[in-house]
Amino acid sequence: MMASKMYLKKQKAANVDKLLSVGVTLDSFPNMMELIKPYPEIMASCGVHPLDVESAFSLEQFKKYVANDRVVAVGETGLDYHYQPETAELQKKRFEQQVEVAVGVNKPLIIHTRNAREDTLSILRNGGADKCGGVIHCFTEDLPFAEAAMDLGFYISISGIVTFRQAKELKEVVKQLPLERLLIETDSPYLAPIPHRGKENQPAYVVEVAAYIAQLKGVSLSEVGEKTSKNYQDLFLR
Protein backbone atom coordinates (compact mmCIF):
# COMPACT_ATOMS: atom_id res chain seq x y z
CA MET A 1 0.00 0.00 0.00
CA MET A 2 2.89 2.38 0.81
CA ALA A 3 4.38 1.69 -2.62
CA SER A 4 1.03 2.39 -4.26
CA LYS A 5 0.78 5.78 -2.54
CA MET A 6 4.32 6.63 -3.63
CA TYR A 7 3.51 5.71 -7.24
CA LEU A 8 0.38 7.87 -7.15
CA LYS A 9 2.45 10.82 -5.92
CA LYS A 10 4.90 10.35 -8.78
CA GLN A 11 2.04 9.99 -11.25
CA LYS A 12 0.56 13.33 -10.12
CA ALA A 13 3.96 15.00 -10.32
CA ALA A 14 4.22 13.77 -13.93
CA ASN A 15 0.80 15.34 -14.73
CA VAL A 16 -0.82 11.95 -15.28
CA ASP A 17 -4.29 12.62 -13.92
CA LYS A 18 -6.34 9.59 -14.97
CA LEU A 19 -5.72 5.92 -14.27
CA LEU A 20 -7.48 2.70 -15.14
CA SER A 21 -7.11 -0.34 -12.87
CA VAL A 22 -7.69 -3.41 -15.01
CA GLY A 23 -9.41 -6.53 -13.69
CA VAL A 24 -8.21 -9.99 -14.74
CA THR A 25 -10.26 -12.39 -12.57
CA LEU A 26 -13.57 -12.23 -10.73
CA ASP A 27 -11.93 -13.48 -7.53
CA SER A 28 -9.56 -10.49 -7.37
CA PHE A 29 -12.11 -7.85 -8.39
CA PRO A 30 -13.58 -7.02 -4.92
CA ASN A 31 -10.11 -6.49 -3.45
CA MET A 32 -9.11 -4.26 -6.38
CA MET A 33 -12.22 -2.13 -5.88
CA GLU A 34 -11.47 -1.81 -2.18
CA LEU A 35 -7.93 -0.62 -2.94
CA ILE A 36 -9.01 2.09 -5.38
CA LYS A 37 -11.98 3.30 -3.30
CA PRO A 38 -10.13 6.32 -1.80
CA TYR A 39 -8.89 7.49 -5.22
CA PRO A 40 -11.64 8.96 -7.45
CA GLU A 41 -9.17 9.52 -10.29
CA ILE A 42 -8.78 5.74 -10.68
CA MET A 43 -11.48 4.00 -12.68
CA ALA A 44 -11.79 0.23 -13.04
CA SER A 45 -12.50 -2.49 -15.55
CA CYS A 46 -13.85 -5.96 -14.87
CA GLY A 47 -12.92 -9.00 -16.90
CA VAL A 48 -11.39 -12.44 -17.10
CA HIS A 49 -7.97 -12.53 -18.76
CA PRO A 50 -7.47 -15.28 -21.36
CA LEU A 51 -4.69 -16.78 -19.24
CA ASP A 52 -7.09 -16.94 -16.26
CA VAL A 53 -10.08 -18.58 -17.95
CA GLU A 54 -9.87 -21.58 -15.63
CA SER A 55 -10.44 -19.33 -12.60
CA ALA A 56 -13.86 -19.24 -10.92
CA PHE A 57 -16.52 -17.67 -13.15
CA SER A 58 -20.20 -16.87 -12.72
CA LEU A 59 -21.91 -14.98 -15.53
CA GLU A 60 -24.42 -13.43 -13.13
CA GLN A 61 -21.67 -12.27 -10.76
CA PHE A 62 -19.72 -10.88 -13.69
CA LYS A 63 -22.72 -8.85 -14.87
CA LYS A 64 -23.20 -7.53 -11.33
CA TYR A 65 -19.57 -6.39 -11.11
CA VAL A 66 -19.69 -4.76 -14.56
CA ALA A 67 -22.74 -2.73 -13.50
CA ASN A 68 -20.67 -0.91 -10.83
CA ASP A 69 -20.46 2.83 -11.58
CA ARG A 70 -16.67 2.84 -11.16
CA VAL A 71 -16.36 0.17 -13.87
CA VAL A 72 -15.90 1.93 -17.20
CA ALA A 73 -14.83 -1.05 -19.31
CA VAL A 74 -15.06 -4.82 -19.75
CA GLY A 75 -11.78 -6.68 -19.73
CA GLU A 76 -9.04 -7.54 -19.85
CA THR A 77 -10.42 -10.22 -22.14
CA GLY A 78 -9.41 -11.81 -25.43
CA LEU A 79 -7.35 -14.74 -26.66
CA ASP A 80 -3.80 -15.94 -25.99
CA TYR A 81 -2.75 -18.99 -27.99
CA HIS A 82 0.95 -18.35 -27.31
CA TYR A 83 1.02 -19.30 -23.64
CA GLN A 84 -2.10 -21.46 -23.32
CA PRO A 85 -3.14 -22.99 -26.65
CA GLU A 86 -4.62 -25.92 -24.73
CA THR A 87 -7.40 -23.70 -23.29
CA ALA A 88 -8.32 -22.14 -26.67
CA GLU A 89 -11.93 -23.35 -26.65
CA LEU A 90 -12.60 -22.12 -23.13
CA GLN A 91 -10.85 -18.84 -23.96
CA LYS A 92 -13.18 -18.33 -26.92
CA LYS A 93 -16.25 -19.08 -24.79
CA ARG A 94 -15.24 -16.62 -22.05
CA PHE A 95 -14.32 -14.00 -24.65
CA GLU A 96 -17.69 -14.33 -26.39
CA GLN A 97 -19.50 -14.04 -23.06
CA GLN A 98 -17.63 -10.88 -22.15
CA VAL A 99 -18.20 -9.30 -25.57
CA GLU A 100 -21.92 -9.98 -25.22
CA VAL A 101 -22.03 -8.32 -21.79
CA ALA A 102 -20.01 -5.31 -22.97
CA VAL A 103 -22.32 -4.75 -25.93
CA GLY A 104 -25.36 -5.14 -23.67
CA VAL A 105 -24.24 -2.44 -21.22
CA ASN A 106 -22.43 -0.32 -23.84
CA LYS A 107 -19.08 -0.35 -22.06
CA PRO A 108 -15.86 -0.60 -24.11
CA LEU A 109 -13.75 -3.74 -24.27
CA ILE A 110 -10.08 -4.06 -23.29
CA ILE A 111 -8.62 -6.71 -25.58
CA HIS A 112 -5.56 -8.93 -25.12
CA THR A 113 -4.57 -10.91 -28.22
CA ARG A 114 -1.50 -13.04 -28.89
CA ASN A 115 -1.07 -15.52 -31.75
CA ALA A 116 -4.84 -15.35 -32.23
CA ARG A 117 -5.50 -12.44 -34.53
CA GLU A 118 -8.06 -14.09 -36.83
CA ASP A 119 -10.14 -15.57 -34.02
CA THR A 120 -9.94 -12.30 -32.08
CA LEU A 121 -11.27 -10.25 -34.98
CA SER A 122 -13.89 -12.89 -35.82
CA ILE A 123 -15.33 -12.91 -32.29
CA LEU A 124 -15.37 -9.11 -32.15
CA ARG A 125 -17.14 -8.88 -35.51
CA ASN A 126 -19.63 -11.67 -34.84
CA GLY A 127 -20.36 -10.33 -31.36
CA GLY A 128 -21.19 -6.84 -32.60
CA ALA A 129 -18.29 -5.26 -30.72
CA ASP A 130 -18.43 -2.26 -33.05
CA LYS A 131 -21.48 -1.18 -31.01
CA CYS A 132 -19.43 -0.71 -27.81
CA GLY A 133 -15.92 -0.22 -29.18
CA GLY A 134 -12.82 -0.69 -27.10
CA VAL A 135 -9.06 -0.85 -27.21
CA ILE A 136 -6.46 -3.36 -28.35
CA HIS A 137 -4.27 -3.29 -25.26
CA CYS A 138 -0.45 -3.43 -25.31
CA PHE A 139 -0.47 -3.57 -29.11
CA THR A 140 2.23 -5.62 -30.88
CA GLU A 141 0.39 -6.73 -34.03
CA ASP A 142 0.84 -5.53 -37.63
CA LEU A 143 -0.76 -2.63 -39.52
CA PRO A 144 -3.53 -4.69 -41.22
CA PHE A 145 -4.69 -5.94 -37.80
CA ALA A 146 -4.67 -2.39 -36.44
CA GLU A 147 -6.70 -1.17 -39.41
CA ALA A 148 -9.22 -4.01 -38.99
CA ALA A 149 -9.59 -3.16 -35.30
CA MET A 150 -9.98 0.56 -36.03
CA ASP A 151 -12.67 -0.30 -38.60
CA LEU A 152 -14.59 -1.81 -35.67
CA GLY A 153 -14.26 1.46 -33.75
CA PHE A 154 -11.36 0.29 -31.58
CA TYR A 155 -8.41 2.31 -30.37
CA ILE A 156 -4.83 1.03 -30.43
CA SER A 157 -2.92 1.26 -27.14
CA ILE A 158 0.86 1.50 -27.14
CA SER A 159 2.96 0.44 -24.15
CA GLY A 160 6.63 0.75 -23.24
CA ILE A 161 7.42 -2.05 -25.71
CA VAL A 162 7.62 0.61 -28.44
CA THR A 163 10.77 2.02 -26.79
CA PHE A 164 12.60 -1.33 -26.91
CA ARG A 165 15.39 -1.59 -29.46
CA GLN A 166 14.09 -4.83 -31.01
CA ALA A 167 10.55 -3.48 -31.54
CA LYS A 168 11.35 -2.27 -35.07
CA GLU A 169 8.11 -3.42 -36.71
CA LEU A 170 5.99 -1.86 -33.96
CA LYS A 171 7.78 1.47 -34.37
CA GLU A 172 6.93 1.47 -38.09
CA VAL A 173 3.29 0.66 -37.37
CA VAL A 174 3.02 3.46 -34.80
CA LYS A 175 4.36 5.95 -37.34
CA GLN A 176 1.41 5.11 -39.60
CA LEU A 177 -1.37 5.11 -37.01
CA PRO A 178 -3.42 8.31 -36.58
CA LEU A 179 -3.07 9.99 -33.19
CA GLU A 180 -6.86 10.21 -33.12
CA ARG A 181 -6.99 6.42 -32.64
CA LEU A 182 -4.08 6.00 -30.22
CA LEU A 183 -3.96 5.44 -26.48
CA ILE A 184 -0.85 5.06 -24.34
CA GLU A 185 -0.37 2.79 -21.33
CA THR A 186 2.19 1.33 -18.98
CA ASP A 187 0.77 -2.18 -18.35
CA SER A 188 2.22 -1.74 -14.85
CA PRO A 189 3.99 -3.42 -13.19
CA TYR A 190 5.38 -4.96 -16.40
CA LEU A 191 7.18 -3.66 -19.50
CA ALA A 192 8.79 -0.51 -18.10
CA PRO A 193 9.89 1.73 -20.98
CA ILE A 194 13.45 2.79 -21.70
CA PRO A 195 15.20 4.23 -19.65
CA HIS A 196 13.48 2.31 -16.82
CA ARG A 197 13.56 -1.14 -18.42
CA GLY A 198 14.19 -3.89 -15.89
CA LYS A 199 12.53 -1.92 -13.08
CA GLU A 200 8.99 -2.26 -11.81
CA ASN A 201 6.75 -0.21 -14.09
CA GLN A 202 4.52 2.55 -12.69
CA PRO A 203 1.88 5.00 -14.00
CA ALA A 204 4.26 8.00 -14.16
CA TYR A 205 6.33 6.22 -16.81
CA VAL A 206 3.53 6.63 -19.35
CA VAL A 207 5.11 10.01 -20.08
CA GLU A 208 8.17 8.17 -21.47
CA VAL A 209 5.89 6.26 -23.85
CA ALA A 210 4.22 9.49 -24.96
CA ALA A 211 7.59 11.17 -25.52
CA TYR A 212 8.83 8.27 -27.63
CA ILE A 213 5.68 8.29 -29.77
CA ALA A 214 6.05 12.05 -30.26
CA GLN A 215 9.61 11.48 -31.47
CA LEU A 216 8.54 8.69 -33.84
CA LYS A 217 5.73 10.75 -35.34
CA GLY A 218 7.59 14.06 -35.44
CA VAL A 219 5.08 15.91 -33.27
CA SER A 220 5.26 17.58 -29.87
CA LEU A 221 4.85 15.75 -26.57
CA SER A 222 1.98 18.10 -25.72
CA GLU A 223 0.11 17.09 -28.89
CA VAL A 224 0.45 13.39 -28.06
CA GLY A 225 -0.66 14.09 -24.49
CA GLU A 226 -3.66 16.17 -25.50
CA LYS A 227 -4.91 13.78 -28.18
CA THR A 228 -4.45 10.57 -26.20
CA SER A 229 -6.10 12.19 -23.16
CA LYS A 230 -9.08 13.14 -25.32
CA ASN A 231 -9.19 9.59 -26.71
CA TYR A 232 -9.24 8.19 -23.16
CA GLN A 233 -12.06 10.55 -22.26
CA ASP A 234 -14.05 9.69 -25.38
CA LEU A 235 -13.68 5.93 -24.89
CA PHE A 236 -13.87 5.37 -21.15
CA LEU A 237 -15.66 8.41 -19.72
CA ARG A 238 -18.40 8.80 -22.32
Residue 10: which pLDDT band, with cuts at 50, 70 and 90? low
Q: To the nearest whole percent, how much of the chain has pLDDT over 90?
A: 83
Do the domains 18-107+117-131 and 133-238 sit in the same CATH topology, yes or no? Answer: yes
Burial track 11-29 (b if 16+ CB lie within 10 A, e otherwise): beeeebeebbbbbbbbeeb
* Each residue's pLDDT tens digit, 15-56: 666 789 999 999 999 999 999 999 999 999 999 999 999 999
In the chain, where are the structural domains located?
A: 18-107+117-131, 133-238
pLDDT of residue 14: 60
User: Is 112 annotated as ligand-binding?
Assistant: yes
CB atoms inside a 10 Å sphere around CB 148 = 18
User: Is 180 annotated as ligand-binding?
Assistant: no
Q: To the nearest whole percent, how much of the chain has pLDDT over 70?
A: 93
User: CATH number of 18-107+117-131: 3.30.413.10, 3.20.20.140, 3.30.930.10, 3.40.710.10?
Assistant: 3.20.20.140
pLDDT of residue 2: 39
Model pTM?
A: 0.94
pLDDT of residue 13: 56
pLDDT of residue 197: 82
Distances in Å between the alpha carbon of 76 and those of 15, 51, 150, 173, 219? 25, 10, 18, 23, 30
pLDDT of residue 199: 80
Complete edge-to-edge strand list for the sheet that includes strand 154-158? 19-21, 42-46, 71-80, 109-114, 134-136, 154-158, 182-184
pLDDT of residue 15: 65
User: Is 196 annotated as ligand-binding?
Assistant: no
Average pLDDT value for residue range 130-139:
98
Residue 3: which pLDDT band, with cuts at 50, 70 and 90? very low
Higher pLDDT, 18 or 2: 18
Window from 14-18, 70-74, 131-135 with minimum mean pLDDT = 14-18
User: Is 187 annotated as ligand-binding?
Assistant: yes
Asked if the model's pLDDT at residue 67 lies above 90, the reply is yes
pLDDT of residue 33: 97
CB atoms inside a 10 Å sphere around CB 179 = 16
Residue 5: which pLDDT band, with cuts at 50, 70 and 90? low
Asked if the model's pLDDT at residue 180 lies above 50, the reply is yes
CATH 3.20.20.140 for domain 133-238, yes or no, is yes
Asked if the model's pLDDT at residue 204 lies above 90, the reply is no
Distances in Å between the alpha carbon of 95 and those of 37, 48, 108, 127, 198? 28, 8, 14, 10, 31
